[in-house]
Amino acid sequence: MASFIPDSSVVSDVRFSPNFNERKGGRQPDMIVLHYTGMSDAESALTRLTGAGTDVSAHYVVLEDGGIVQCVPEALRAWHAGQSAWAGETDINSASIGIEIVNRGHDFGYQDFPLRQVAAVIALCKGIMLRRKVPKHRVLAHSDVAPARKKDPGEKFPWHLLAHSGVGHWVEPSPIVPGDRNRMLGATGEAVMALQRGLANFGYGVLPSGQYDGATMDAVSAFQRHFRPKLVDGIADHSTLTTLQRLLETLPKAANAA
């Protein structure tokens, strides 16, 4: 299969990647995971994503000018999420469509995402959501499903713009209160347990232990990058806690039950 017909009408080019396999157990994707490429330029990223032996790929790459390249058919399992988990699932590659957004990332001069690129991401996601019946709350960041390893697409990605177009679950973040830093690494107790339960109920791979450990801090940081991006510090302050609570309250009932 050196080429294929694009799944989406907004695709401008096809660059076939040999890095894929079948979705395990016939799993149908009901999740979208957004990434940034984290490389110096688009061509370097495409070369890596479509190169034999790199063991990495994505279904789509969204260029800075809004062009969209498809590399793997949606029916197949692209290799974009790595070791990851969400809402009790650990094979996120089988469960998801992976979208790489061209951006140099935190290691190469992290920049703002151009509006035409964001508009292309929105158009692409809306089509996938319709075709694949992806719920809004299952449009996620790579950092959500792999908080200990990943930061992408990062705190500069405008999730609020996506949500205003019907892509992703979002509430306006609660205001940050200066000096409110009362739940830090090493803390213990019922308040920490309640935080961990809230994160786990939302989908993060956190085990409620009552100990504010490194895994909890990673999950809080990932949550902040996505839902409270003005301050990413891994500290569950009042703003973080109330934003999480409001998101939980506005989840669909079926998702809360899960």
CATH code for the domain defined by 13-164: 3.40.80.10
Q: How far is CA 101 from its chain centroid?
A: 11
* Domain boundaries of the chain, sorted by first residue: 13-164, 190-257
Q: How much is the pTM?
A: 0.96
Per-residue pLDDT at 3: 82
In angstroms, the Cα distances linking 221 to 8, 68, 83, 153, 232 are 33, 30, 18, 13, 6
Per-residue pLDDT at 50: 97
Per-residue pLDDT at 166: 97
What tens digit of pLDDT does each residue of 20-52 get?
999 999 999 999 999 999 999 999 999 999 999
Separation between Cα atoms, residue 167 and residue 135, nearest integer Å: 9
Cis peptide before 153 (omega within 30 of 0): yes
Averages of pLDDT over each 10 residues, the chain, 258 residues: 88 97 96 98 97 97 98 98 97 98 96 98 98 97 98 98 98 88 78 96 96 96 98 94 97 66
CATH class, range 190-257? mainly alpha
> Which active-site residues does the annotation give?
100
Per-residue pLDDT at 257: 47
Per-residue pLDDT at 258: 45
Cα–Cα nearest to 247, from 137, 94, 153, 166: 137
Q: How far is CA 160 from its chain centroid?
A: 14
Per-residue pLDDT at 195: 96
Per-residue pLDDT at 72: 98
